[in-house]
C-alpha cells in the first residue's frame, strides 16, 4: 500500500524499499554467495596467477572506491554492536585494499583476503547500507579479477 494520508516521506520510502527491493536483494546475495563459493573452488590451478590493477583499470578503480566506501560505512555505522568483530572486518578490508593497491597481487591472495569478509558483511547486514556496499564491492572485485558468477 503506497498511498498514505500522512505526509511522512521517510515511512513511505522505507515501505517501498522493504516491499520491492529487500526480497530480491536477499535472493541476489544468496545467489552471489553460492556462485562465489563455486568459483573460489576453481582457483587452485591458477593460484599463482598475478593480477595487476592495469589489467582492467575501470573495474579496479570501482573496486577500490567501493572498498573505501565500505571502510567508511563500517566506521560510521551504529548498528555494529560487536566492536571486536567490527575491528576485525575493518582490518581485513584495509588489508585487502593495501594488497590490491600494490600494483599487482596474486589472485589467490586477493580472493582469500577479500572475499570472506565481503560475503560476511553482505550477509550480516543484508538490510542495511553496509551490506549493500559490501555486495557492490564484491561484485566489483569479481569483475576486476575476471571471475564469472555464472
Specify the 3-state DSSP secondary structure of 8: coil
Q: What is the model's pLDDT at position 150?
A: 44
Mean pLDDT on 61-88: 91
pTM (predicted TM-score): 0.68
Region of residue 100 (left: phi > 0; alpha: psi -120 to 50; beta: else):
alpha
140 vs 48, more confident: 140
Alpha helix (H) residue ranges in 5-55: 9-16, 22-41
CA distance 25 to 127: 8
CA distance 49 to 104: 10
Beta strands in the chain (DSSP E): 50-52, 104-106
pLDDT grade for 7, boundaries at 50, 70 and 90 = low
Amino acid at each position: 500500500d503506497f498511498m498514505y494520508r500522512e505526509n511522512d516521506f521517510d515511512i513511505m520510502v522505507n515501505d517501498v524499499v522493504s516491499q520491492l527491493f529487500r526480497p530480491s536483494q536477499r535472493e541476489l546475495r544468496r545467489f552471489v554467495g553460492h556462485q562465489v563459493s563455486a568459483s573460489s573452488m576453481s582457483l587452485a590451478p591458477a593460484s599463482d596467477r598475478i593480477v595487476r590493477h592495469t589489467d582492467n583499470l575501470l573495474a579496479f578503480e570501482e573496486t577500490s572506491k567501493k572498498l573505501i566506501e565500505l571502510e567508511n560505512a563500517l566506521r560510521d555505522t551504529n548498528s555494529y554492536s560487536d566492536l571486536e568483530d567490527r575491528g576485525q572486518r575493518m582490518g581485513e578490508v584495509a588489508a585487502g585494499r593495501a594488497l590490491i593497491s600494490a600494483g599487482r597481487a596474486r589472485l589467490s591472495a586477493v580472493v582469500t583476503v577479500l572475499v570472506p569478509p565481503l560475503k560476511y558483511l553482505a550477509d550480516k547486514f543484508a538490510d542495511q547500507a553496509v551490506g549493500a556496499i559490501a555486495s557492490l564491492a564484491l561484485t566489483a572485485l569479481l569483475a576486476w579479477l575476471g571471475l564469472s558468477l555464472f
